[in-house]
Amino acid sequence: MTEATNVSADPIARDWWAGIAEGRIGYEACTDCGAAQFYPRGHCTACGSAKVAMRTAAGTGTIFSITVVHRPPSAALQPFAPYAIALVDLDEGVRMMAHADPSLAIGARVRATVAPFGDRAVPRFVAAA
């Protein structure tokens, strides 16, 4: 598995994926207007401020949508198929894409785990209960 620090040229994304490898889901909060946002950008899209801080989410949320992928984009990912990709609304008020248990339905309460996929470990949501 490739080191998470090698996955992107963007230092914010490198740090974010390094956090995932350690079980932390980061999101940004604006220290001027208080808005929370995902994905992290280094500036606030609500007020334009450059003062944003990376926070760690509790890792709990709700499934907003979910699809089960049977046709992966490459042969390297074929062993993982079928896998579920979800949009998850975190309790902190931001939405992120992640992997999920394929049996989950929209509206399900979930908690984050980390699971190997492709070249890295990715966040994977499972039933909260």
Burial of 61 (0-12, 13-18, 19+ CB in 10 A): buried
Residue 103 lies near another protein (rule: CB under 8 A):
no
Q: Residue 120 interacts with another protein (CB under 8 A)? A: yes
Residue from the set 106, 116, 127, 128 that interacts with another protein by CB under 8 A: 106
Instruction: Provide the minimum distance between the beta carbon of 70 and another protein in the complex, in angstroms, as a whole number.
Output: 4
Shortest CA distance to 64 belongs to which of 124, 106, 112? 106
Query: Shortest CA distance to 56 belongs to which of 112, 117, 116, 3?
Result: 112
| Half-sphere CA count of 101, side-chain side, radius 13 A | 14
Residues 15-54 that bind another protein (CB under 8 A): 16-17, 38-39
Out of 87, 92, 93, 126, the only residue in the binding site for another protein (CB under 8 A) is: 87
Give the Cα separation of 78 and 118 in Å (integer): 10
User: Taking contact as CB under 8 A, which single stretch among the options 28-36, 49-57, 82-90 is the one that binds another protein?
Assistant: 82-90
Contact residues toward another protein (CB under 8 A) are: 7-8, 10, 13, 16-17, 38-39, 64-75, 77, 80, 82-83, 85-87, 95-99, 106, 117-120, 122
